[in-house]
Amino acid sequence: MKQNTMPRQDDGTAGTATASKSSEFELSDRDFAFIKQFIARQAGIELSEAKRNLVYGRLVRRLRILQLPSFSAYCSRLEAGDEEELEHCVNALTTNLTSFFRESHHFEFLQRELLPRLIREKREPTLRVWSAGCSTGEEPYSIAMVLAENLPEHWDVRVLATDLDSSVVATGAAGQYTLDRITGITDARRKHWFLRGKGANEGQVRVRDELRDMITFRRLNLLEPWPMRSSFDFIFCRNVVIYFSKDTQRVLFDRFAEQLHPQGHLFIGHSETLYKVSDRFNLLGNTIYQRVR
């Protein structure tokens, strides 16, 4: 799931801190069980015992900021329904690794096969796309570049970009990145789609308004009701469901099928599969699926 100006990385705390009594705080079995249940209920994410140190490292920062004496006190705060802290907790525990044109075969398929077919076959010159789990925005901007470069100018194109983490949604909407984030983009695209920062913004780039205007960024929990009324031509939901149980995946992919046009396409991550999860899609190859019912 992805969602920070840069993809969130642990500062070393998560890798070295432990939940033992020798740590700054103790993360008891009871507190860890509560947090596991909380994030499963709020975001559908299943945490194993192997993630205990990661949970400690991510949340101990919140204890320090809030000046709380223990994880037990923090859990009590969540249980009491502190809405602001609920959001901070979810943001802290969701992972946001992403990059421009990640899993490039998906974008090659868009350019070479799917978009030419849609141009030929669609009755109306409109295209609706959803980037579900958009993280800090690199995925929807990559999609938008391909669309802008390959669709006729008169087409009405809109990309919806959603994520559970409000902080990364804000980063995506801002469209501002450090130079090292765009090293994987061709020189031609860097020159055409990005503006170089000067002065206080030296070392940063900003996505041109032409792309930013194509995309609507919104916070959305995939486990909750979806407000979208229109259907999509294709959906990207990559490296999101690996954190969900099989039962949650079945429900989610059924909802994706309902949200797609008949024969619409679904793109998932390289380590994900719909095998024994959904029979509503046909695998075209390279984690690209097409709705069949």
Q: Helix or strand or coil: residue 122? A: coil
The pLDDT value recorded for residue 171 is: 96
**Per-residue model confidence as pLDDT tens digits over 26-70:** 999 999 999 999 988 888 888 889 889 989 998 999 999 999 999
- Quote the CA–CA distance of 207 and 192 in Å, as a whole number: 10
Query: Which amino acid belongs to residue 181?
Result: R
Mean pLDDT over 230-258 rounds to 94
Going from N- to C-terminal start, the domains of the chain cover 13-93, 104-291
| Tokens (6 digits) for 119 | 């141009």
Total-model pTM: 0.78
> Looking at the domain 13-93, which fold is it?
Chemotaxis Receptor Methyltransferase Cher; domain 1 (1.10.155)
Mean pLDDT over 101-117 rounds to 96
Query: Which amino acid belongs to residue 12?
Result: G
Which segment of 12-16, 21-25, 36-40, 228-232 scores lowest on mean pLDDT? 12-16
Average model confidence (pLDDT) across the chain: 89
**Per-residue model confidence as pLDDT tens digits over 127-154:** 999 999 999 999 999 999 999 999 999 9
Catalytic amino acids?
58, 163
- Structurally, at CATH architecture level, domain 104-291 sits in 3-Layer(aba) Sandwich (3.40)
